[in-house]
Structure 1
Amino acid sequence: MNNNDTINDGLLVKYLMKEANAEEVQQVETWLRESKENQQYLNGLQLIWEESASLAEGSEEEESAAWTKLEHRLNLNTPVVQKRKSFNNSWLRIAAAILLIGGLGWFASYYFHNPALLTVQSHADIVHKVLPDGSEITLNKNSEIIYSSVFRGKDRPVKLTGEAFFKVTPDKEKPFVITVNEIAVKVVGTSFNVKNRNNKTIVVVETGIVQVSRGNKTVELHAGEQSTIDKDQTRLSKEKTHSKLYNYYRTNELECEHTPLQELVDILNEIHHKNIVISTNALKNKEITADFKNQSLEEIIQVIKETFKIRVEYKNQQILLK
């Protein structure tokens, strides 16, 4: 299936299920770094895997038979009894569901060659996309989504890299689920922004209710709330949204309402590819209320300067606010 003889789908599935040993993890991650196509292939396989989970309704006998097929097909080279002990019930149910409908190889082939998995990449543009269920997605620059041309199973899975604003068509019977790294964002119909940059994920809810999960932890966000999750932290935060800065790539407007200056500076650095630095923590936390629309970076910095009565120093590719 993939473009490297040393990596097979069985190993990739073990990696996705976090059942691979240290040597296998290193092998897969080395393969992923070799090309963007390898990462895209793994993303597609993960989406197939997640969507197949909703089909896992078989009996124990069916699971046992399916596991035997899986072990043979993926060449796991481990006795069935030992493997059953090391893999959890979720693994067995999903493996059984996949193989009972014809095997992982057939299932992946069906999705990839129809094609059923679609990838949208924004590159240097802002991209608007309508999904098969009518949900609308606006991709920020340098972002990517992967989704099925037809949403099967019990949910509507989408995989995100980068940043996107979602306006989800309501369907209480089939939740909309976005995965970004190890985080899942689940909704039935609402609008919200998801951003993953620099090992940090931020979910901002504009309307409705959004459920954010990581591992066995979950937080429920309502309109006007957000959650910020660092890659290395286990806690899921929940706080009020300070501004509508997350909307800048959709509206070309920077809306600040009692917004900490550091948040505005972070967005300005992202938009203009600059290195604006605030010299003190006290200044970072000062709040600004202002709307900027179609104004240059120099004009915005001038407003900041006058608002807080500070100095601006341009030095060594850096703009220092002090």
Structure 2
Amino acid sequence: MSNANTPIDDDLLVKYLLGEVTPAEYILVENWISASTENRSEYERFKLIWDESQQIAAANVDEDAAYTRLHNRIHTNQPAQRQTPIRRLKTSHWIGLAASVVLICTVLWLTFNHVYDNGSISVVKIDSRGKVRTANLPDGSVITLNSHSTLLYPERFKGEIRPVSLQGEAFFKVAPDKSKPFIIKVNDVTVRVVGTSFNIKERNGKTEVIVETGIVKVSKKQSSVNLIPGERVTINKDEGVLSKEISKGKLYNYYLTGELICDHTPLAELVPALNEVYGAHIIIGNKALQNLPITTVFKKQSLDDVLTVIADTFEGTSKITVVRKGKQIILR
């Protein structure tokens, strides 16, 4: 990249270190590195974190084989243009590996920039896989991970902050410490607190933060908002503007309590939660129904029972009919 002031994507740097870039991408990164001393220093810091992360990532069972192969490639003494072509990893392997490495690098980057001694840094990784898991952090914070979620954090919080990194969904009960803020990195979103409870959900390029107690600061690039109890913010990957709104009910904590609590909750919010909880494919076939509010509590009921309650709740002018077409359920 010829412009020294133009940032480069971290994912591209990861691909560059793996030797997975195209010729055009290789030239792009090389030009960016050589454009300024600042860029070269940033690259060297990134590579240092990368090298530290390899030892950690290599300990994860699911990625052992792929990571070992990539580790050998990174440290080859052959110049990049003379390397023997090596078969590309399957897309699913690449995505999983890149996500793991970026997650590790995030925690290490935060830690390296806020630690003042020269002691070694160990990073703990918790992968909930297919079940809900609870983690007790060294500061007394308690984190409950939803299924298919990953949390990384330093073995000890030694600097001026308490940095962690999340993929997936988790409920945080952060131990109060005004002198050492608790910081969560979720992709390019930063959540900063000193002691509070809240839920973070990151799926399909969208990040949602809902506050239960205390005050939470959510930032993305130059935009930030402060949330208080009952408020939430939803950030799409390609959008930089953060706008908060009132959270009507508690649909987010089903994995914690087994309850879907609706408090004047619009159907347009309830339906996605039902699809996730029940693995269903419910759609609202009439746009006029989207903002209809429902107030009730669903607690470990069958999907059929839930649909019956919805249909019985709205009668008269707002009557809802449940129509099934194969695996699809349409609310009309």
TM-score (norm 2): 0.71
Which of 19, 29, 51 is the equivalent residue of 1:6? 19
Q: Per the alignment, in what secondary structure is the counterpart of residue 43 of structure 1?
A: helix
Which of 127, 133, 139 is the equivalent residue of 2:145? 139
Q: Per the alignment, in what secondary structure is the counterpart of residue 174 of structure 1?
A: coil
Please give the alpha-carbon distance, in whole angstroms, between the structure 2 residues aligned to 1:233 and 1:227. 12
Asked if residue 193 in structure 1 is aligned to residue 193 in structure 2, the reply is no
Residue identity opposite 2:46 in structure 1 = V
Q: Per the alignment, in what secondary structure is the counterpart of residue 243 of structure 2?
A: coil
Identity of aligned residues (%): 45
Give the corresponding residue for 1:43.
Answer: 103
Which of 210, 213, 221 is the equivalent residue of 1:215? 221
Return the offset for 1:240.
1.1
Give the corresponding residue for 1:130.
Answer: 136
Asked if residue 34 in structure 1 is aligned to residue 47 in structure 2, the reply is no
Q: 1:115-126 alignment to 2 at 5 Å?
A: 116-126=122-132
Asked if residue 292 in structure 1 is aligned to residue 325 in structure 2, the reply is no
Q: Per the alignment, in what secondary structure is the counterpart of residue 305 of structure 1?
A: helix
Please give the alpha-carbon distance, in whole angstroms, between the structure 2 residues aligned to 1:316 and 1:229. 33
CA distance 1:5–1:121, shift in 2 (3 Å): closer
Contact 2:106 2:185 in 1 (8 A): no
Contact 2:146 2:255 in 1 (8 A): yes
Give the corresponding residue for 1:255.
Answer: 261
Contact 1:31 1:38 in 2 (8 A): no
Please give the alpha-carbon distance, in whole angstroms, between the structure 2 residues aligned to 1:32 and 1:45. 20
Give the corresponding residue for 2:81.
Answer: none
Structure 2 gap segments, 5+ residues each: 1-13, 21-41, 50-88
CA distance 1:32–1:146, shift in 2 (3 Å): farther
Give the corresponding residue for 1:180.
Answer: 186
Contact 2:191 2:217 in 1 (8 A): yes
Please give the alpha-carbon distance, in whole angstroms, between the structure 1 residues aligned to 2:266 and 2:45. 43
Asked if residue 160 in structure 1 is aligned to residue 220 in structure 2, the reply is no
Let me know the Cα RMSD of the aligned residues: 2.8
CA distance 1:206–1:303, shift in 2 (3 Å): same
TM-score (norm 1): 0.73
Q: Per the alignment, in what secondary structure is the counterpart of residue 145 of structure 1?
A: strand
Residue identity opposite 1:40 in structure 2 = S
Q: Per the alignment, in what secondary structure is the counterpart of residue 253 of structure 2?
A: helix
Return the offset for 1:51.
1.4
- Name the count of aligned residue pairs: 254
Structure 1 gap segments, 5+ residues each: 17-28, 57-96, 102-106
